[in-house]
Amino acid sequence: MKNVIAIDGPGGAGKSTIAKLLAKKINYLHLDTGAMYRAVTWAALKKNIDFKDEEKIIKIAEKSKIIFDQQGNIFLNGKNISQEIRNNKVNQYVSQVAAIKGVRDLLVEKQQDIAKKNKVVMDGRDITTVVLPKAEYKFYLTASLAERAKRRYQQEKVKNKNADLKQIKASIARRDKLDKEREHSPLKKAEDARLIDTTNLSIEQVMSKMIEIIEGEI
């Protein structure tokens, strides 16, 4: 599939940062699919839904009109929720919501439709394996748990001076496990995806590795 770059990997690997920069550089659209699962989770929290009630959560996903603007802000039914979707409550429940097949089916359809209509860099957990397995370029970014937790901690510290590295590490590890062990579309490396371990690499170094692979062909 021409004009499509797919990136998967665990939280804190650098996917959305890199995908955003890469998209800007080559003039593609960036689609952060994690933000879509977060938006549905935020809407369910807002309605005080019991997270075991899968039917209700699917209904919420059906009613969720999710739109991104040029800057990557996300709007749910007209409301800009770009900040809210990064809160701790959403972190806590998003992997549960993302494990529901009915929710995934709805969001995957939207993602595939966007890829049909645009040149796109898309990042998430199942982009290289399920959403766009025929993408022209496929990458799996990862980094050690300690490094990913450190990166998240540094981001968090800016907003909250009580941010706790240990807690952040535990929360990432829990989400890794849920995402890798779920029945539908678990996080795994596609056989033909390029693996990049970013543990000891700067953003610029990761970018140049990816550009090197793509270079000359776009």
| Binding region for ATP | 9-17
When binding is defined by CB under 6 A, the residue of 43, 74, 94, 132 that contacts ligand CDP is 94
Asked if 130 contacts 108 with a C-beta cutoff of 8 angstroms, the reply is yes
Contacts of ligand CDP in 59-78 (CB under 6 A): none
Query: Which among 197, 203, 210, 202 is positioned nearest to 141, based on CA atoms?
Result: 197
| Cα separation values, 148 from 58, 165, 166, 203, Å | 31, 11, 12, 13
Q: Where are the alpha helices (DSSP H) in 67-143?
A: 88-98, 101-117
User: Is 30 one of the binding residues for ligand CDP (CB under 6 A)?
Assistant: no
Which tokens belong to 35? 């933000």
Strand bridging mode 120-124 / 29-32: parallel
Largest CA distance in the chain: 50
Name the one range near ligand CDP by CB under 6 A: 10-18, 57-65, 113-121, 162-170.
10-18
When binding is defined by CB under 6 A, the residue of 79, 116, 203, 208 that contacts ligand CDP is 203
When binding is defined by CB under 6 A, the residue of 4, 17, 93, 100 that contacts ligand CDP is 17
User: Is 15 one of the binding residues for ligand CDP (CB under 6 A)?
Assistant: yes
When binding is defined by CB under 6 A, the residue of 4, 5, 9, 103 that contacts ligand CDP is 9
Asked if 137 contacts 192 with a C-beta cutoff of 8 angstroms, the reply is no
Tell me how far apart the alpha carbons of residues 203 and 14 are, in angstroms, rounded to a whole number.
Answer: 8
User: Is 37 one of the binding residues for ligand CDP (CB under 6 A)?
Assistant: yes
Name the one range near ligand CDP by CB under 6 A: 113-121, 124-132, 163-171, 209-217.
124-132
User: Is 155 one of the binding residues for ligand CDP (CB under 6 A)?
Assistant: yes
Judged by the rule CB under 6 A, the positions of this chain that interact with ligand CDP are 9, 11-17, 33-35, 37-38, 94-95, 98, 124-127, 151, 155, 175, 179, 198, 201-203, 206
